[in-house]
């Protein structure tokens, strides 16, 4: 297919298009990986072309784009990017596939809290039926790390099916029809109380060994790193020379970095009497 004719008129047209807005157009071409559409509202010369990747064509399972659209069909789609180099628009038809769902999603905002009921629990996260979502939809999702500040083995350790939950909205994805929630965002960060305890000596449990140090849990949801250089004055090639997973250890709090959520610990020059299984 011939490239659209470049012109100042086309550049001006692309200049008024905004990411996130809804545009309409006619299907020009159906390829294996994408559908090309001619955007409405451009008077020429040439054509204003939009690309809809196969993954953005529909949320339904399809083998080929031709299963979802046909040549000449009119579509509504959300602008996801403007490609100034190729003078084309990238778009998502799936974002406009269900008007009721889109209206619900656009009514939400990141940072707000929302309630819902757990639909299912999996090892990778939790699906939640959000209050107010369209019937037969499940729009909420909580990733495992967003369930709790505490270390958990499985999301089922935190929530159960049909449980009511409230979380902070951290992302609204109209293309996937999904709202990401965080339960952790509404919980107190257990690292915060340690910000004024630099220099304090405490005890903890070795939870994991890595080549350059050992992670030590000093409270629920609070783990810090003892670097190999912080075990003793003499060189330590591997933390296994000093500790094993499950050992109890006395450490000093060296640094608390809330921005990067890093806790630096040291065991140098500290008595380790009774070191062993915690």
What is the pLDDT at residue 6?
56
**Domain end call among 140, 170, 186:** 186
Q: What is the pTM of this model?
A: 0.79
**CATH number, domain with residue 85:** 2.40.50.140
Distance CA 142, CA 130 (A): 12
Q: Are residues 56 and 67 in the same domain?
A: yes
Assigned domain for 273 exists: no
On whether the CB atoms of residues 263 and 254 are closer than 8 A, the answer is no
| Boundary residue ending a domain (158, 186, 214) | 186
Distance, in Å, from the CA atom of 129 to the CA atom of 107, rounded to the nearest integer, reads 16
Report CA 255 to chain centroid distance, whole Å.
28
Residues with Cβ within 8 Å of 178's Cβ and at least 6 positions away in sequence, in order, are 139, 140, 141, 171
Strands 213-219 and 248-257, by their bridges, are unpaired
Per-residue pLDDT of the chain (278 residues; tens, 9 = 90+): 444 445 788 989 999 999 999 999 999 999 999 999 999 999 878 899 999 999 999 999 999 999 999 999 999 999 999 998 888 999 999 999 999 999 999 999 999 999 999 999 999 999 999 999 999 999 999 999 999 998 889 999 999 999 999 999 999 999 999 999 999 999 999 999 999 999 999 999 999 999 999 999 999 889 999 999 999 989 999 999 999 999 999 999 999 999 999 999 999 989 886 555 43
Residue 200, in any domain of the structure: yes
The DSSP code for 198 is: T
Range of the domain at 259: 192-266
- In this structure, the number of other CB atoms found within 10 A of the CB of residue 218 comes to 20
Whether residue 272 lies inside any domain: the answer is no
- Closest-CA residue to 17 (of 98, 93, 77): 77
DSSP H or E run through 131: none
Number of domains in the chain: 3
């Amino acid at each position: 297919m011939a490239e659209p004719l470049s012109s100042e008129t086309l550049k001006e047209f692309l200049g008024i298009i905004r990411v996130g807005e809804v545009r309409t157009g006619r299907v020009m071409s159906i390829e294996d990986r994408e559908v090309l559409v001619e955007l409405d509202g451009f008077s020429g010369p040439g054509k204003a072309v939009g690309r809809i990747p196969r993954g953005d064509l529909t949320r339904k399972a399809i083998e080929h784009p031709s299963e979802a659209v046909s040549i000449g069909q009119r579509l509504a789609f959300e602008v996801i990017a403007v490609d100034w180099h190729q003078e084309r628009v990238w778009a998502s038809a799936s974002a406009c596939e269900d008007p009721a769902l889109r209206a619900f999603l656009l009514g939400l905002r990141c940072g707000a809290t929302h309630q819902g009921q757990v639909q299912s629990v999996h090892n990778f996260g939790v699906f939640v039926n959000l209050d107010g979502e369209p019937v037969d939809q499940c729009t909420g999702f909580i990733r495992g790390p967003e369930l709790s500040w505490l270390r958990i083995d499985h999301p089922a350790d935190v929530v159960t099916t049909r449980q009511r939950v409230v979380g902070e909205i951290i992302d609204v994805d109209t293309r996937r029809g999904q709202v990401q929630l965080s339960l952790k965002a509404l919980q107190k960060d257990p690292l915060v109380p340690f910000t004024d305890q630099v220099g304090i000596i405490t005890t903890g449990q070795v939870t994991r060994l890595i080549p350059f140090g050992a992670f030590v849990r000093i409270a629920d949801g609070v783990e810090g790193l003892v670097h190999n250089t912080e075990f003793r004055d003499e060189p330590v090639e591997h933390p296994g020379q000093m500790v094993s997973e499950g050992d109890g250890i006395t450490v000093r709090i060296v640094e608390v970095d809330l921005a990067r959520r890093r806790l630096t610990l040291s065991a140098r020059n500290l008595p380790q009497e009774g070191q062993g299984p915690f």
